[in-house]
Structure 1
């Protein structure tokens, strides 16, 4: 990142043009990969159910099973529904990044975020579990098991609920 600070984007229109191209290509690749993941999720149509403790972030949940011992709602979703929610978050995050970066440039003439986001777009893609599963073909086990662990310390904490615990809650309900 120190190298980006040494490049003079403000006074050199040629470097600025290359930066705009790099930014557009990096964000375009991010959107293209998110689109490919979206299509692969739809084509796989995985119907296996997963149970997640709802922390208020699961929007399109199929059904609330019950409350666990701590009083948290347990959401049942198919893998397809869960992955679709995550890929929609990818699209939203990419569009938000594009919007903020363009706003900062056109409103305040701040160009450094474009340079930083040109690089971070690829880093963010490589850290996405959906990219590892649907693009690189890795198995959804271990770190890639659903629900995914958030790399953001401020992000929502999603926890899987075991089938044994779900059965126990259903028995308690009946």
Structure 2
């Protein structure tokens, strides 16, 4: 099953579970909030640990690839020459930015719009996103950088997986209300 289909199945399953959770109860809501914060801290700490492992390995193997141009520019891609260490650290940084973006969007959704179900859903999706991160698979899970994990990694969606799933959660919750 592909990653996108897995994410959709997890989101829809989590939505069904979230319907059964009494978010009106302040104690339950605080547990869900604590769970969300715990998962986000776990993801941040995991990325920090992965970055320390990358720095410790200090793989200075030269990596050359063509970075595609942005769809709006219409130009050709640019040749990038870097090291495996710098590339992996850049991917880790991108993962961290995705976490920060997701947390910011969840803060707006929860504090401003008073949506509670996405907290539960994004807790699960945060763990799934961490498991799907290629730098985590290589440096934490010990998988070989071959095939789908070969550098440079295949380009993800334009806004990142976490951003897309936060928006999908928002839309799903809007229709459920």
> Does the pair score TM above 0.5?
yes
Root-mean-square deviation (CA), in Å?
Answer: 1.9
Q: Count how many residue pairs are aligned between Structure 1 and Structure 2.
A: 142
When residues 50 and 155 of structure 1 are mapped into structure 2, their CA distance, relative to the original with a 3 A threshold, is: farther
Aligned pair partner of 1:97 in 97, 102, 111: 102
- SS of the aligned residue for 1:76 comes to strand
Displacement over 2 Å in runs of 4+:
70-73
Q: TM-score, normalised by structure 2?
A: 0.75
Q: Distance in 1 between matches of 2:48 and 2:95?
A: 10
CA shift, 1:151, in A, is: 4.5
* Match runs of 1:154-165 below 5 Å: 154=158
1:6 paired to 2:20: yes
- Partner of residue 5, structure 2: none
- Partner of residue 148, structure 2: 143
Q: Distance in 2 between matches of 1:5 and 1:146?
A: 41
Consecutive unaligned residues of structure 1, counting only runs of 5 or more, are: 58-69, 157-174
Over residues 97-149 of structure 1, what are the superposed CA-to-partner deviations in whole Å (9 max), with x where a residue is unaligned? 11110111111111111111111011001111111111011111111110112
Aligned pair partner of 2:81 in 73, 76, 79: 76
Q: TM-score, normalised by structure 1?
A: 0.76
Q: Larger % of helix: which?
A: 2
Over residues 12-40 of structure 1, what are the superposed CA-to-partner deviations in whole Å (9 max), with x where a residue is unaligned? 11110110111011101100000001111
- Partner of residue 30, structure 1: 43
Consecutive unaligned residues of structure 2, counting only runs of 5 or more, are: 1-13, 161-177
